[in-house]
Amino acid sequence: MSSTHPANTSAAEGEPKVSNFLRQIIENDLDKGTYQSRRWAGSPGDAAHQEAGQPDPARIRTRFPPEPNGYLHVGHAKSICLNFGLARDYGGICHLRFDDTNPEKEDTEYVNSIIDAVKWLGFDWQAQGTTHLYQASDYFDFMYRAAEYLVQNGHAYVDEQTTEQMRANRGDFGKPGVDSPFRSRTPAENLARLREMRDGQHEDGSMVLRAKIDMASPNINLRDPAIYRIRRATHHNTGDKWCIYPMYTYAHPIEDALEQITHSICTLEFEDQRPFYDWLLARLCEGGLLKSPPPRQYEFARLNLTYVITSKRKLAQLVYDHKVSGWDDPRMPTIVGLRRRGYTPESILLFAERIGVTKSDSWIDYSTLESCLREDLENKAHRGMAVLDPVKLVLTNWAEVFGSDGYTEDCTQPALPHSAIAEGQTPPPDRVFKIGKEVWIEREDFEEVPPKGYKRLFPGNVVRLKGGYVIECTGAGAKDANGQVTEVHAKVIAGTKSGTPGADSVKAKAAITWVSVASGVPAEVRLYDRLFLDPHPDAGGKDFIEALNPNSLKVVTAYVEPSLANAKPDEKFQFERHGYFVADRVDHAVGKPVFNRATGLKDSWGK
Ligand code: ATP
Ligand code: MG
């Protein structure tokens, strides 16, 4: 399979664009020239820094800002496709920013996995010779300077109430808050306290810096939100330089503004934070610390996928409690898990495009994701035969017809059906495999007493071994102590081989898949099913562990034809009649094939 990077071309080229209200907003801003006056000095920075730069060559700037505290999942993939996709489509630049302002949870393992995931999807943060890969913790100095500015101008104060007092005085939806007794301190007093906080003169949790806005605001987020807290923790980037850390709601708008982001796109749960986002940036712009116009925040509905959980914390629990084999377990909705399951970047991009972007929460059916994979692999994945539940079929008249029991013959079949070959494209070389006296067939393809309408092997019935000969079944050849059939017998009909002039001389009722004993290779095949039995495993505070599917993995030993046994790791195939499979990236080796079922051929989720 080719590994082109579809993300570099507009995914929707030639197709009508799916509903995406953000496109309208951006197009409107571009028409009005909202951000035309922006300058960019080549790196993030404050107003003075950007002022000295050139007019920004990027028409818009977006960002994808993960917190490096876990592996990215399919929900993040939606956000990546959205942010990088919009930048690509509108002559903009998308920054990859590690939102690492929380000192305790970050890890370089996660940083590297995030970089790999975004690259694998085909996106890039290099533009015009600059690497737009940023760390929010690099902005701590500015964030602190901005805090002093707010204090000096009466927009922030140090509150020494206890956490309980603060909570009680915040009020609730029906009840306005009560001013803190520390709210009326002078800027000079507050500045002194803030500096003491910074210099480590106070205990963790003994006081916080709060924005001074409105304790009676109907939006509780505007009731003097905390913006800095004391926390003695070693940060992976800044070490022990700081013992105070900014709160996320304070840090995030500043990060966006320093990076000259125009459209800051986040999920709906931040909608109530937008007034604070705007308030903060307006203060810092009017103080001349940041360049106007500031970025604007827009919210979209997060991805909810049935039978899937999309929370890094809950996914981490599955990993640490050994409910799955790791972050890249093929049942995980992580990007590494999807990749190991056999998903392609193209299929995920197609999915993101297809689900669109809306402002109201809804559930996307898991089958939508699977059908995008089928659509992508349909014309790409080479075909092959594999027998997943093998029983031996013996062609009892083989020596009579071909002269000896040991005789074998080559069969050829196309790697891709005619319909999958685009005009002008050279078809891949045919697959070659042997037929001999003994072949493996699926256990379900033989019935001693056929149910009504059954067309496959039963005594007296005539079927074709796909790509091989027509055979006539003579019955069960052997059974074990439990009466289970261990060998099926049939007679080969001479002159009926596929692709020869006599192929149609005998009419077969059905064609069945098979692999010869002579050229079949045993393979470990991992048959994955949904990880959860409940379509909404963690909705309404449910314990998602209880919804785990005990049968989400079944491992079988199958027989596969040589073209499959020689697969490269990560190569995808259609096992005829069974579905799409991938050679496992981790465990597969030539001579010891291991395949994962990516998806069946048809939607089975509704059943
Ligand atoms: P989690 O709860 O899984 O930790 P998060 O939102 O805290 O998710 P971040 O690392 O902060 O994770 O997210 C980075 C970006 O990805 C954010 O802009 C966030 O809005 C977006 N994102 C996270 N989950 C989803 C989702 N399910 N659908 C769409 N976007 C998402
Ligand atoms: Mg988060």
pLDDT digits (tens, 9 = 90+) for 349-371: 999 999 999 999 889 999 999 99
Q: Are residues 49 and 190 in the same domain?
A: no
Q: Are residues 243 and 123 in the same domain?
A: no
Residue found by looking up tokens 């059939």 in the block: 485
C-alpha dihedral, 383 to 389 to 392 to 398, nearest 10°: -20
pLDDT digits (tens, 9 = 90+) for 557-592: 999 999 999 999 999 999 999 999 999 999 999 889
Check residue 557 and give its pLDDT.
98
Distance from the alpha carbon of residue 328 to the mean position of ligand 1, in angstroms: 18
pLDDT digits (tens, 9 = 90+) for 78-114: 999 999 999 999 999 999 999 999 987 767 889 999 9
Q: Are residues 218 and 236 in the same domain?
A: yes
Distances (CA, A) of 313 to 68, 156, 243, 292, 327: 12, 33, 25, 37, 12
Q: Are 596 and 342 in contact (CB under 8 A)?
A: yes
Per the annotation, the verdict on 67 as an active-site residue is yes
Q: Whose CA is nearest to atom 10 of ligand 1?
A: 66
Q: Are 178 and 294 in contact (CB under 8 A)?
A: no
Q: Are 284 and 513 in contact (CB under 8 A)?
A: no
The DSSP code for 60 is -
Determine the straight-line distance between the first and last CA of the chain, rounded to whole angstroms: 32
In three state form, how does the secondary structure of 178-214 look? CCCCCCCCCHHHHHHHHHHHHCCCCCCCCCEEEECCC
Q: Are residues 144 and 292 in the same domain?
A: yes
pLDDT digits (tens, 9 = 90+) for 444-491: 999 999 999 999 999 999 999 999 999 999 999 999 999 999 999 999
Q: Are residues 424 and 480 in the same domain?
A: yes
Q: From CA 484, how far away is CA 389, in angstroms rounded?
A: 13
Distance from the alpha carbon of residue 76 to the mean position of ligand 2, in angstroms: 11
Q: Which atom of ligand 1 is nearest to the CA of 266?
A: 20
Q: Which atom of ligand 1 is nearest to the CA of 314?
A: 3
Ligand nearest to the CA of 110: 1
Last residue of a domain, one of 305, 325, 347: 305
**How does strand 511-512 pair with strand 462-465?**
parallel
Q: From CA 100, how far away is CA 14, in angstroms rounded?
A: 39
Q: From CA 456, how far away is CA 466, in angstroms rounded?
A: 12
Per the annotation, the verdict on 447 as an active-site residue is no
pLDDT digits (tens, 9 = 90+) for 508-528: 999 999 999 999 999 999 999
Q: Which atom of ligand 1 is nearest to the CA of 303?
A: 28
Check residue 3 and give its pLDDT.
39
CATH number, domain containing residue 232: 3.90.800.10
Check residue 603 and give its pLDDT.
74
CATH number, domain containing residue 95: 3.40.50.620
Q: Which atom of ligand 1 is nearest to the CA of 312?
A: 3
Three-state secondary-structure class, residue 348: helix
Q: Of 292, 282, 332, give the one whose Cα is nearest residue 113.
A: 332
Distance from the alpha carbon of residue 74 to the mean position of ligand 1, in angstroms: 10
Q: From CA 491, how far away is CA 474, in angstroms rounded?
A: 7
Q: From CA 518, how far away is CA 433, in angstroms rounded?
A: 9
In three state form, how does the secondary structure of 32-59 look? HCCCCCCEECCCCCCHHHHHCCEECCCC
| Angle of CA points 175, 154, 248, to nearest 5° | 65
Residue 160 confidence (pLDDT) above 90: yes
Last residue of a domain, one of 290, 305, 320: 305
Q: From CA 146, how far away is CA 211, in angstroms rounded?
A: 12
In whole angstroms, how large is the CA radius of gyration of the chain? Answer: 31
Q: From CA 263, how far away is CA 128, in angstroms rounded?
A: 20
Residue found by looking up tokens 């056929």 in the block: 450
Distance from the alpha carbon of residue 248 to the mean position of ligand 2, in angstroms: 9
Q: Which atom of ligand 1 is nearest to the CA of 302?
A: 28
Last residue of a domain, one of 492, 519, 546: 519
Per the annotation, the verdict on 302 as an active-site residue is yes
List the strands of the sheet with 61-64, edge to edge. 61-64, 93-98, 133-135
Ligand nearest to the CA of 72: 1
Q: Of 596, 580, 109, give the one whose Cα is nearest residue 327.
A: 109
Q: Are residues 390 and 344 in the same domain?
A: no
Global pTM value: 0.93
Check residue 604 and give its pLDDT.
65
Pocket test for ligand 1, best of 71, 76, 357, 544 (most atoms within 8 A of CB): 76
CATH number, domain containing residue 314: 2.40.240.10
- Tell me which amino acid residue 463 is: V
Q: Are 408 and 518 in contact (CB under 8 A)?
A: yes
Range of the domain at 491: 382-519
A 10 A CB-CB count for 53 gives: 16
Distances (CA, A) of 566 to 2, 94, 315, 514, 589: 17, 40, 34, 18, 8
Q: From CA 107, how far away is CA 70, in angstroms rounded?
A: 8
Q: Are residues 278 and 169 in the same domain?
A: no
- Tell me which amino acid residue 107 is: D
**Helices 366-378, 345-355: crossing angle, 10 deg rounding:** 130
Q: Whose CA is nearest to atom 23 of ligand 1?
A: 76
Distance from the alpha carbon of residue 99 to the mean position of ligand 2, in angstroms: 9
Q: Are residues 177 and 117 in the same domain?
A: no
Pocket test for ligand 1, best of 62, 64, 73, 79 (most atoms within 8 A of CB): 79
Q: Are residues 182 and 201 in the same domain?
A: yes
Q: Whose CA is nearest to atom 22 of ligand 1?
A: 76
Q: Are residues 511 and 546 in the same domain?
A: no
CA 373 and chain centroid, separation: 12
Check residue 49 and give its pLDDT.
98
Q: Which of 23, 39, 59, 67 is an active site residue? A: 67
In 86-131, at which residue ranges do the beta strands (DSSP E only) sit? 93-98, 126-127, 130-131
**What total of structural domains would you count in the chain?**
4
Distance from the alpha carbon of residue 546 to the mean position of ligand 1, in angstroms: 24
Three-state secondary-structure class, residue 267: strand
Check residue 129 and give its pLDDT.
83
Positive or negative CA dihedral for 4, 527, 432, 592?
A: positive
Q: From CA 472, how far away is CA 517, in angstroms rounded?
A: 19
Q: Show the tokens assigned to 55.
A: 């007019």
Q: Are residues 9 and 127 in the same domain?
A: yes
CB-count exposure of residue 419 (10 Å: 0-12, 13-18, 19+):
exposed
Sequence-distant (≥ 6) Cβ neighbours of residue 526 within 8 angstroms: 330, 553, 554, 555, 584, 594, 595, 596, 597
Q: Are 100 and 136 in contact (CB under 8 A)?
A: yes
| pLDDT over 90 percentage in the chain | 93
Q: Which atom of ligand 1 is nearest to the CA of 65?
A: 14
Lining ligand 1 with CB less than 6 A are 65-67, 75-76, 78-79, 266-267, 302-303, 310-312
Check residue 535 and give its pLDDT.
97
Q: Are residues 442 and 495 in the same domain?
A: yes
Q: Which of 302, 354, 392, 509 is an active site residue? A: 302
Q: What is the mean pLDDT of residues 166-189?
A: 96
**Average pLDDT in the chain:** 94
DSSP 520-543: -EEEEEEEE--SBSSSSTTGGG--
Where would I find the H helices in 403-484?
none
pLDDT digits (tens, 9 = 90+) for 2-60: 334 445 444 444 444 556 899 999 999 999 999 999 999 999 999 999 999 999 999 99
Give me the residues paired with residue 55 across strands.
39
Ligand nearest to the CA of 300: 1
Q: From CA 92, how far away is CA 13, in angstroms rounded?
A: 18
Three-state secondary-structure class, residue 337: helix
Distance from the alpha carbon of residue 311 to the mean position of ligand 1, in angstroms: 8
